[in-house]
Structure formats: C-alpha cells, structure tokens
Structure 1
Amino acid sequence: MGVDLLKFQVASYSGLDKIDVGVYIVTTRSFQKRMKNEVGLKWEGSLNFEKVVRYLPHFKSAIQVPIYVIGIDM
C-alpha cells in the first residue's frame, strides 16, 4: 500500500505531471469475500477499503497531497 500511496506524492512534486488530488479506488472487504465465495477469486494479502482508511493516517507526514479513497462494494 505504501508504494501506491507514495506515487501520489511523487506525482504532485514532479514537474512533468503535477496533480492536486489523488484518487485511490479499492474494493471493500465484503466485496472481496463475496467474490471469493461466488467465483473463487483469491484476495489473501490484497488491500481493501477498510485497510486503506485505517493505514492512510500513518502516511500523513510523508504524503502532502489530498487523497480521495473510493470503496467498491456490491
């Protein structure tokens, strides 16, 4: 997760591709569980919306660009 989030910070400082906000789209835990049960997709070790929201504040000092987190659920 850290590398994905730090890409937003790098892009905000880069002279080539400056951004004002990052958008991070990830599935929810319940979506992953449903997909595992219905179609056998394996999600072990994958990020989910709840993890991102829980860990994002720990990156506050390293990431200065605002990040909008969107969770996909069914």
Structure 2
Amino acid sequence: MITFGEIKSGISYTWRPGVYGIILIEENLVALIETDDGKCFLPGGGMEESESHEECLIREGKEEMGKLLELGE
C-alpha cells in the first residue's frame, strides 16, 4: 500500500480506494500530472461512492486532463 504524506497521531483517517492509469501517448511516452511544486503523479484519484474503477478513471481523465480516455487492458 502506498501512503501519500505522513500519518499524524490524533487524526482519524478514512480509507478511500483510488484508481490510477498508465496512459501511453506514444510507444515510449507516458502521461503524467505535474503539480505546482514539480511533483509528478499518474492520472487518477479517489473513487466516488458508487463508481467502478473504469468510471473513476474516465472521470479523473476529464477532471485532470480535460480528455475523454479510452480504456484498454
């Protein structure tokens, strides 16, 4: 399991499953999301209550990249 950030004592955390995708732009290029502080992540994020993995990744693609993703294997 990957943990983003530092777990602090005295704080109650909620488990939230997420989906991240590897998006191939060309044979040897992968799309990444770059934050304002220069960190890079795969496109994706936390799932909404009733979303499937596929629905989450499509929604996140629209939100983060403004693109409609076509999901493969």
Do the two structures share a fold, i.e. TM-score over 0.5?
A: no
Q: TM-score range by the shorter chain?
A: under 0.3
Higher helix share: 1
Larger RCO: 1 or 2 (CA < 8 Å, sep 6+): 1
In the superposition, the TM-score normalised over structure 1's length comes to: 0.26
In the superposition, the TM-score normalised over structure 2's length comes to: 0.26
